[in-house]
Amino acid sequence: MLDLHRGRILREVARLGSMTAAARSLAYTQPAVSHHIARLEAEVGTPLVIRHGRGVLLTEAGRILVEHIDDVLARMDDTEERIAAIAGLRAGRVRAAVFPTAAAALIPDALARLRARAPGVTVTLDEAEPNTAVAALREGETDVAIVFNYDHLPPDTDTRFREIPLCDDPIRLAIPSSHPLAEKDEVNLADLAEETWASGCFRCRDHLVWACAEAGFVPSIAFATEDHVAIQRFVARGLAVTALPGLALGLHSEPDVVVPRAPALGSRHIAALVPAGPRPPAVTALLDELTAVAASLDDMNSE
């Protein structure tokens, strides 16, 4: 019988492309990693890696073995989750990939609720923009991807995923309080055609450009940063105008910035993506709490 522990080591060597990097990742010495790979090769009776420059490559046998190790480990994870269900959520783990504003505005409250309900469930979080989060879900590197999209962008139609809508996040205009339009409750984008703009992540920037094009102009974007506080400070100093999602404005409100409505900006749609099919109970529990927290935000937005 093959040693699964050595199989994990081979998988890490394959992932990182070198014995040295795998040793560093696993907190082993490089000779120890080499020894385990040599023992594994002796068990299967054929080479699994070949030297290539300063690293190593898998042989065909090594590639096949790593694929089967991935399958075995995935089945073990599934078994652990099933046992957690029997234990009544006294255990379990969830990996989540979440875009920054949701990581700050949705996740903390959801995790606090989950801890009160199921303190034995462990959740780990990676901050990731939607495209990266979806890629991680596709590769099996996360269990839940919290993403957002806009109406004019094509939806993710991957049938391997199921989408759980969470809330709509209205996009608001942000302009200096000294701006001639600052006293208006609602502003037309076309009235800002000659302004200098600041923008956020590439997906939000694409949406801004699209909305401005619909209003008949191309925005002059001078400042691009994913830091929503920095964007608001550019606006507060009179250097730019911008469009920001409601979640970001709820997390930080800069003095000397006003946020009139701009219907042309619409909303972004926030959702959780999970693999299709049966869900582990820990994942279902997290989704329940995310849905509850998002519903409370939707209620506030509708007031």
Report pLDDT digits (tens) over 249-291: 999 999 999 999 999 999 999 999 999 888 888 899 999 999 9
Answer with the residue of higher pLDDT: 159 or 42: 42
Q: Domain 4-82, what architecture?
A: Orthogonal Bundle (1.10)
User: What's the pTM?
Assistant: 0.69
Tell me, yes or no, if the two domains 91-167+268-302 and 168-266 fold the same way: yes
Least confident of 38-42, 86-90, 229-233: 86-90
User: Could you read off the pLDDT of 115-152 as tens digits, one per residue?
Assistant: 998 888 889 999 999 999 999 998 889 999 999 999 88
pLDDT at position 170 is 94
Answer with the residue of higher pLDDT: 301 or 92: 92
Confidence of residue 231 (pLDDT cuts 50, 70, 90): very high
Helix, strand, coil percentages for the chain (3-state, nearest 5): 50, 25, 30
Q: Is the alpha carbon torsion for 108, 156, 133, 140 positive or negative?
A: positive
Identity of the highest mean pLDDT range in 62-76, 82-96, 187-201: 187-201
Mean per-residue pLDDT, 53-67: 87
Answer with the residue of higher pLDDT: 302 or 41: 41
Q: What percent of the chain clears pLDDT 90, i.e. is strictly above it?
A: 55
Answer with the residue of higher pLDDT: 78 or 113: 113
- What top-level class would CATH report for the domain 168-266? alpha beta
Mean per-residue pLDDT, 18-43: 88
pLDDT at position 89 is 64
pLDDT higher than 60, residue 18 = yes
Round to whole Å and give the CA distance between 267 and 284: 26
H or E segment and range at residue 84? helix 60-86
Domains of the chain by residue range: 4-82, 91-167+268-302, 168-266
Task: Take residue 125 and report the two structure tokens written for it.
Answer: 């979080």
pLDDT higher than 80, residue 155 = no
Q: Which fold has domain 91-167+268-302?
A: D-Maltodextrin-Binding Protein; domain 2 (3.40.190)
pLDDT higher than 70, residue 298 = no
pLDDT at position 221 is 96
pLDDT higher than 70, residue 302 = no
pLDDT at position 168 is 94
pLDDT at position 117 is 86
Q: Give the count of alpha carbons within 13 A of 132, CB side only.
A: 12
Task: Take residue 27 and report the two structure tokens written for it.
Answer: 């907190």
User: Could you read off the pLDDT of 73-109 as tens digits, one per residue?
Assistant: 777 776 666 665 555 566 678 999 999 999 999 999 9
Q: Which residues contact 247 (CB under 8 A, 6 or more apart)?
A: 101, 102, 104, 105, 106, 169, 297
Round to whole Å and give the CA distance between 36 and 123: 31
Confidence of residue 112 (pLDDT cuts 50, 70, 90): very high
**What rounded mean pLDDT belongs to the chain?**
88
pLDDT at position 196 is 97
